[in-house]
Structure 1
Amino acid sequence: MSHPMPKFSDLDALYSPEAKVATSMYEDPELFKVEMERIFHRTWVWVAHESEVPEKGSFKLSNVGLEPVIVARDRKGVLHVMINRCRHRAATVCEVKKGKTSSFQCPYHGWGYGLDGSLRALPYPEQYGDDFSKEQHGLQRLRTESYQGMVFATFNEEIEPLEDFLGPQVRHYIDLFMKQGGGFPVKVLGEHQFSVPMNWKVQLENTTDAYHFPVVHKSFMQTLDGATEDMFDFLDKGKGWVEDLGNGHSIMMMIPELEDLDADLDAPIPDRFADLAEELRGEGYPEDQVRKIVRAVGGAGFNLNLFPNVSFSLAFFRVLTPVAVDRTDIRHIAIGMDGGPAAANRARIRLHEHFQGPMGFGSPDDAEVWERVQRGTQGGEQLPILVNRGIVDEEPGTSGPRGHISAETGMRAAYKMWKRMMSV
C-alpha cells in the first residue's frame, strides 16, 4: 500500500519531536527548492578561505546554495562576493576556477566589471538612453564577513553579524582548530573535489557521526600503527562527546587530549612523527618549536560542523554544495602552514591523502555509504530515518544538549535549525 509523502507545510511530519526524519526529506524536489530559498538564501554560507584569494586581484569561484558566485579581493584588499551573472543577458562573467585579474568581462556583449562588481564599461551605451545608470547595473553583491580567515556570505541583509551567528562556543573551537598552523597562519594547500548522488543533508549528518567510524572506516583503522589505532579507538574508550552548539552547529570531540594543540607539548613525540621531528631539528628549529609544529601536523581532536555547509574535520575543511535534491558536490580542502617548514606541509598532505584523498581510505568509503543511503530511500518511503540515538542520556551542555560520543546529538542540532529556518 502506498503512503502519501509528508508535505513541507507539515514540518513535524518531516522532522518529528521524536527525532525521526521523513524519507521525503531526501527525495522531494519541491522541498529542496524551498530549502534553497529559506535556508541557503537566508543564512551565512561559507564560500572561501582568505588564503585562496591572498592578493589584490585574486579571485575564486564558489557557490551560495545553487547560485554561482565570485569571491574577489579588490585593489584596496577588500573581499567581495558577487553573483557570477552579467546584468545584461545573464551570462557568467568568469569561468576560471581561481586566479588573478584586474576585471571581469562578459563574453557575450562585452560588459566589463571591476573587482568590486561595479559596472565599469559597456559597448555603445548611448542606445540605453541618457537615464541609464552604471551604478545600478553592477554585479549583485552579497553581504560578506570573515572569521579566522573563513569567508562567509549571505543574501540576508537583516541577519545577525557572523560572529553572533557562530556564537562564543563555535568561535572558541574555530580558534583551537586554527592552531594547526603550528604558530604560522593557516593556508589552503589544495583540495579534492567529487560529486555524490545524495541529498545534501545526508552529508550534513555525517561529520558528527562517530557511530559509523569503526564500521565504515575499518580498512583505515587497519592501516594504522598500534599507538595511532589506539588513539582513533574513541568509540570504545568513550572519553569524547557530541554537543549542540546552537544555530545548527555541533562538535564531536573524538580525542580530548588533542582538543588544544598548544597543551601538553612536553609529551613524547609519537613514533610516526619521529623522522619529521629530526628533519625539523636538522633545519635549525628549536626544540619547543619542533614540538609545536609536529603536534599541529597531526590535526585537532574534533570535528566542528557549521550549519549549513562547512565543517572543520580533524585536519581539513569539508564543504558541501547542494546541486539537486539527489546530488551534492563535496570539497575536501587540505590545510597547512603559511610560511611554515616544507617538511611539515608535506606531512600534512600525506596524511590528507591517506584518509581524505581520492585514493585514501576515508572519502571513498564515506561516499559509498552516502550513495547507499540515497538508494535505500527508494524503498519503504513510509519508514522513518532515525536520528534519536543518545537522547536517553543527554545532559545539558554550555549551549545545548551534550551526548555520548556515538550519540546523534549533532544531527538533531542541525535538524532543529533546519526546522526553525523552514518555518519562517
Structure 2
Amino acid sequence: MLNQKRIPVNQMVTPEGDKVQSEMYTDSELFDKEMDAIFDNTWVWVAHESEIPNKGDYKTARIGRHSVIVSRDRKMDIHVLLNRCRHRGATICEKHKGNARSFVCPYHGWGYGQDGTLRAIPIAGPYEGVVDKEELPLISLRMESYQGMIFATFNKDIEPLEDFLGGAKKWMDLFMKQGGGYPIKTLGEHRFRFPGNWKIQLENTTDAYHFPIIHKSFISSLDGDTAEIFDFLEGDGFVEDLGNGHSVMVMIPELVDLEENLDDPIPARFEALAAELRAEGHDDDKVRRLVRAAAGSGFNLNLFPNVACSMAFFRVLAPISVNETEIQHIAIGGDGAPSAFNKTRIRLHEHFQGPMGFGTPDDSEAWERVQKGAGSGMSEWILVNRGQNLVQQNDMGNDYSTVCSEIGMKAAYKQWVKMMNAAEQGA
C-alpha cells in the first residue's frame, strides 16, 4: 500500500469544479459520509407509478444503505415505508415486487397493513399495557411524485419535490411524451452490479464524448441512416446545468419534442411498424405519432443523485459499497398502446441496454476500468473540464456547452460539494 494522507472532503473537488480527486471513487470513509450527507438528506427516486398500478401492489427499492417498500394501499394511496419491523428490526419484505394484503415479519409474525400500520401481534397477552400498536407503524418516509416518478426522502424539512427538480421538470415533461400519446408504462427491467463507485455511473449518462469510441460495435450494427443520427458530437446538441445537480444532454435536437415534426417522412427502419399499425386500423396521425415516439427522445436527463431518464429508458443506480454499484435498466412504453409499438420499444431496448445488447456490456467494462485505475498509484486529479472554454449562459442563467462537454458532471459535483460541506459544517 502506498502511504498517503487522507484528503479532506473540501479538497476533493477544485474550487472551479473542473477536477476531482481519484479518492472520490475509492475512499470507503468518504462513501459512508456520502450515504449520510446525500442519500439520507435529499429526494431519491424509488419507483414509477406504473410499477404499482393496483391495490396491494408493492416493490422494494434502496435509498442509500436503506431498504424501503413502495406500496399502494386499498385507497390507491402510495406509501414509502422503511423495510424494517418495529419489533426486532428484521426486514419484512425480501421480494423485489408483488401484491400483498399485508406485510408479515417472518421472525415473530408482526403484521403490517399496506399503509404501514401495525395490525397484528401474535400472542399479544404479554404486551398488554406494554405496547400500543398505534405507536408502532412502519417508519414512513416523506413521498412526492412528478410525472409518475415517485421520490422519497428521510429529510422531513427538505424543499418540495417540484422545487428540487426545478429546471429538470421541463425535460421530464418532454421525456414522458414518448408513450406516443399514451401514458408512460414500465415494460420490464434487468439489474446487474459492477465493481465500481456510484459516481462513475452518474458521470456516464451525461458523457457523450465516449459514445463513438466505446460504442463502435453498436453503431456498426445500425443501418446507414440511423448510424448518421448517432454521429452527434459535431452537431447542434448541448449539455446544460439545470441546478441542484441535475443536467440534460441533448444529443439529437430534432427528437427533443416528440409531438413536433409529425409530417416528416417515416424512417425506413420503422416502415414495418407503421404498416403493422395501419393494418390494425390506426389512422395516419396516430401512426405517425407512435412511430415518432418509438425510438425515444433525443436527450439524457440526469436527476441527482440516482436516476436518469435516458433517451428511451430509466437508469437507476444504487450504491452498495465504495466499489460496488447496482444498476437497474427499466424499459418503458405506452400504457394501452398497440402491442406492436411496445414490442418495438422492447426490441430497441434489448439492442442497446439489454444484458446481451451492444451498449451495456461496453459501458460496464469502462466503469470497471475507471475504478481499477482510480485505485492504482498515488492520488491524482480526474478531469471533468471538457468544454469549459465554450461555456455560455442561457436566458435562465444556466451554464451550457457543447454536447461532448462535461458540464453535466460539474453540475453533479457542485451539488455533491454543497451537500457534503453542509454536512461537515453541521457536524
Q: Same fold (TM over 0.5)?
A: yes
Look up the match of 1:6. 7
- The 3-state SS of whatever aligns with 1:375 is helix
Look up the match of 1:89. 88
Contiguous gaps of at least 5 residues in structure 1? none
Counterpart amino acid of residue 50 in structure 1: E
1:418 and 2:416 matched: yes
- The 3-state SS of whatever aligns with 2:42 is coil
C-alpha separation between the residues in 1 aligned to 2:134 and 2:198? 37
Match of 2:277 among 276, 280, 283: 280
Q: Is the 8 A contact 2:17 2:410 kept in 1?
A: no
Counterpart amino acid of residue 372 in structure 2: R
Look up the match of 1:364. 361
Counterpart amino acid of residue 393 in structure 1: L
Look up the match of 1:58. 57
Instruction: For residue 379 of structure 1, report the CA deviation from its aligned partner.
Output: 1.5
C-alpha separation between the residues in 2 aligned to 1:309 and 1:296? 25
Give per-residue Cα distances to partners, 1:123-174, cap 9 Å, x unaligned: 233323415221221111100011111000000111111111101x311111
C-alpha separation between the residues in 2 aligned to 1:392 and 1:86? 54
Instruction: For residue 42 of structure 1, report the CA deviation from its aligned partner.
Output: 0.4
C-alpha separation between the residues in 1 aligned to 2:79 and 2:289? 35
Q: Is the 8 A contact 1:14 1:24 kept in 2?
A: no
1:176 and 2:177 matched: no
1:130 and 2:126 matched: no
Look up the match of 1:270. 267
1:330 and 2:331 matched: no
Counterpart amino acid of residue 187 in structure 2: L
C-alpha separation between the residues in 1 aligned to 2:134 and 2:207? 48
- The 3-state SS of whatever aligns with 1:145 is strand
Instruction: For residue 40 of structure 1, report the CA deviation from its aligned partner.
Output: 0.3
Look up the match of 1:199. 197
Give per-residue Cα distances to partners, 1:220-265, cap 9 Å, x unaligned: 11111111111110013x2100000000000000000000000000
Look up the match of 1:234. 232
Instruction: For residue 2 of structure 1, report the CA deviation from its aligned partner.
Output: 4.2
Counterpart amino acid of residue 329 in structure 2: H
C-alpha separation between the residues in 2 aligned to 1:379 and 1:97? 36
- The 3-state SS of whatever aligns with 1:235 is coil
Look up the match of 2:218. 220
- The 3-state SS of whatever aligns with 2:361 is helix
C-alpha separation between the residues in 1 aligned to 2:102 and 2:272? 47
Counterpart amino acid of residue 386 in structure 1: L
1:308 and 2:305 matched: yes
Over aligned residue pairs, what C-alpha RMSD do you find? 1.1
- The 3-state SS of whatever aligns with 1:373 is helix
Counterpart amino acid of residue 338 in structure 2: P
Instruction: For residue 18 of structure 1, report the CA deviation from its aligned partner.
Output: 5.0
Match of 2:385 among 374, 383, 388: 388
Q: Is the 8 A contact 1:21 1:386 kept in 2?
A: yes
Q: Is the 8 A contact 1:24 1:381 kept in 2?
A: no
C-alpha separation between the residues in 2 aligned to 1:192 and 1:59? 17
1:339 and 2:340 matched: no
C-alpha separation between the residues in 1 aligned to 2:4 and 2:266? 58
Counterpart amino acid of residue 5 in structure 1: R
Counterparts of 1:42-57 in structure 2, within 5 Å, are 42-57=41-56
Give per-residue Cα distances to partners, 1:319-343, cap 9 Å, x unaligned: 0000000000000100011100000
Q: Is the 8 A contact 1:5 1:382 kept in 2?
A: no
Instruction: For residue 404 of structure 1, report the CA deviation from its aligned partner.
Output: 0.7
Counterpart amino acid of residue 206 in structure 1: N
Counterparts of 1:99-178 in structure 2, within 5 Å, are 99-167=98-166, 169-178=167-176
C-alpha separation between the residues in 2 aligned to 1:360 and 1:18? 34
Contiguous gaps of at least 5 residues in structure 2? 423-427
CA pair 399-138 structure 1, distance change in 2 beyond 3 A: farther
- The 3-state SS of whatever aligns with 1:173 is helix
Q: Is the 8 A contact 1:191 1:333 kept in 2?
A: yes
Q: Is the 8 A contact 1:80 1:141 kept in 2?
A: yes
C-alpha separation between the residues in 2 aligned to 1:204 and 1:387? 13
Q: Is the 8 A contact 2:12 2:24 kept in 1?
A: no
Instruction: For residue 5 of structure 1, report the CA deviation from its aligned partner.
Output: 3.2
- The 3-state SS of whatever aligns with 1:183 is coil
- The 3-state SS of whatever aligns with 2:222 is coil
- The 3-state SS of whatever aligns with 1:358 is coil
- TM-score, normalization by structure 2: 0.97
C-alpha separation between the residues in 1 aligned to 2:77 and 2:25? 38
- The 3-state SS of whatever aligns with 1:130 is coil
C-alpha separation between the residues in 2 aligned to 1:202 and 1:128? 50
Look up the match of 2:425. none
Give per-residue Cα distances to partners, 1:274-331, cap 9 Å, x unaligned: 0100000000000000000010111100000000000000100000000000000000
C-alpha separation between the residues in 2 aligned to 1:178 and 1:162? 18
Q: Is the 8 A contact 2:248 2:302 kept in 1?
A: yes
Counterpart amino acid of residue 198 in structure 2: W
Percent identity over paired residues: 59
C-alpha separation between the residues in 2 aligned to 1:421 and 1:279? 51
- The 3-state SS of whatever aligns with 2:404 is coil
- TM-score, normalization by structure 1: 0.97
Q: Is the 8 A contact 2:17 2:413 kept in 1?
A: no
- The 3-state SS of whatever aligns with 1:194 is strand
Q: Is the 8 A contact 1:15 1:415 kept in 2?
A: no
